[in-house]
């Protein structure tokens, strides 16, 4: 615990409370050991406690090696509490803190690895993506900070986008990928069946129409009804042809599905909506690491070579998709 930067003890009372409890506990152990020493004079005698008619309790002391181990433990505890934090707000004579150790280790690491990161930061992301040393460094960063959601192979899972394909909601150019990593992304598909905006039968019609867009089997009658509903309920974000708009709504006419392509899964998405968030890593990682991580993601194979139009600013309130919320 960093006692110089903590608000755990909001008054001197709690600090003193901890100090008293800790010292009484440690010194109490020492007093108990001294009492055990006195028990030597009664060795071989009984305490007077008898069970089951003839089972008696003898008043024998602990073995010497055991007692001295306890004495050493008590002394060690007192020395430790004098040197390191452990007694309320007292920092210890060494002045050690977790924050100080962390900052020291980070400073040492920055001195060792900082020049390498800066070397790559000065290069174009496309050039960094082709550098074998940068790839290894980027992969380690990815496995540490990104693999938990996107998988170690970056191909995602249900609810987490595939970063190795060419399907992007917020854009796959180096600048757009870097912005996604540094600033994060928020996307929300509003629920259509909660208010409800649409009844259950209408939602099934929409689900069948959306399935038909990507060549999946669907009910022909529901497709026709769903097509008419789509123009009213979904086209504003996904476009009249369902091919989506950058930063607003994903393409529903391809074969990329983030939450599943079955009728029941699409119905659930339309009915309950979807909310997804990509956390921002810019402040935590710093510009140099974000630059390297961007190059790694770009080099996975799904990056867009030419700059694309900027993402729409109102992505948070937009409707990413009734079936898939992509990168």
Residue ranges of domains in the chain: 12-96, 102-327
pLDDT at 44: 66
Judged against a pLDDT cut of 70, whether residue 314 lies above it is answered with: no
- The owner of tokens 């108990």 is 32
The pLDDT of residue 318: 37
Residue 325 pLDDT more than 70? Answer: no
Q: What is the pLDDT of residue 201?
A: 93
The pLDDT tens digits for 86-121 are 888 888 899 898 889 999 998 998 898 889 999 999
**What is the distance between the alpha carbons of residues 286 and 135, in angstroms, rounded to a whole number?**
18
Q: Which CATH architecture has domain 102-327?
A: Orthogonal Bundle (1.10)
pTM score, whole prediction: 0.68
Per DSSP, the three-state class of 168 is coil
Whether the Cβ atoms of residue 272 and residue 220 lie closer than 8 Å to each other = no
Alpha helices (H) along 122-245: 125-129, 132-145, 147-150, 174-183, 200-213, 220-233, 235-238
Copy the structure tokens of residue 283: 């402040």
For 140-153, what is the mean pLDDT?
95
Residues 287 and 154: beta-carbon distance below 8 Å: no
Please say if the pLDDT value at position 182 is more than 80: yes
């Amino acid at each position: 615990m960093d006692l110089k930067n903590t608000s755990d003890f909001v008054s001197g009372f709690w600090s003193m409370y901890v100090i008293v409890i800790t010292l009484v506990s440690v010194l109490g152990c020492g007093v108990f050991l001294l009492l055990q020493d006195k028990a030597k004079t009664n060795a071989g005698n009984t305490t007077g406690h008898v069970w089951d008619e003839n089972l008696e309790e003898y008043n024998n002391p602990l073995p010497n090696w055991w007692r001295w181990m306890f004495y050493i433990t008590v002394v060690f505890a007192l020395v430790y509490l004098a040197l390191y934090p452990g007694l309320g707000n007292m920092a210890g004579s060494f002045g050690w803190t977790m924050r100080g150790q962390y900052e020291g280790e980070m400073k040492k690491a920055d001195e060792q690895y900082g020049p390498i990161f800066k070397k790559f930061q000065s290069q174009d992301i496309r050039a960094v993506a082709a550098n074998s040393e940068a790839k290894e460094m980027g992969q380690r960063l990815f496995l540490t900070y990104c693999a938990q959601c996107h998988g170690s192979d970056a191909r995602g899972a249900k609810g987490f986008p595939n970063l190795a394909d060419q399907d992007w909601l917020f854009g796959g150019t180096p600048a757009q990928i870097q912005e996604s990593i540094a600033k994060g992304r928020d996307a929300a598909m509003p629920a259509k069946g909660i208010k409800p905006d649409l009844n259950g039968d209408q939602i099934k019609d929409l689900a069948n129409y959306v399935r038909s867009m990507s060549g999946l089997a669907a009910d022909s009658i529901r497709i026709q009804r769903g097509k008419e509903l789509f123009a009213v309920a979904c086209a504003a974000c996904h476009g009249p042809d369902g091919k989506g708009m950058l930063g607003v709504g994903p393409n529903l006419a391809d074969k990329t599905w983030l939450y599943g392509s079955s009728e029941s899964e699409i119905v659930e998405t339309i009915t309950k909506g979807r909310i997804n968030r990509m956390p921002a890593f810019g402040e935590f990682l710093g510009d140099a690491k974000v630059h390297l991580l961007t190059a790694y993601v770009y080099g996975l194979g799904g990056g867009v070579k030419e700059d694309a139009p900027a993402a729409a600013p109102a992505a948070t309130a937009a409707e990413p998709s009734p079936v898939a919320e992509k990168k």
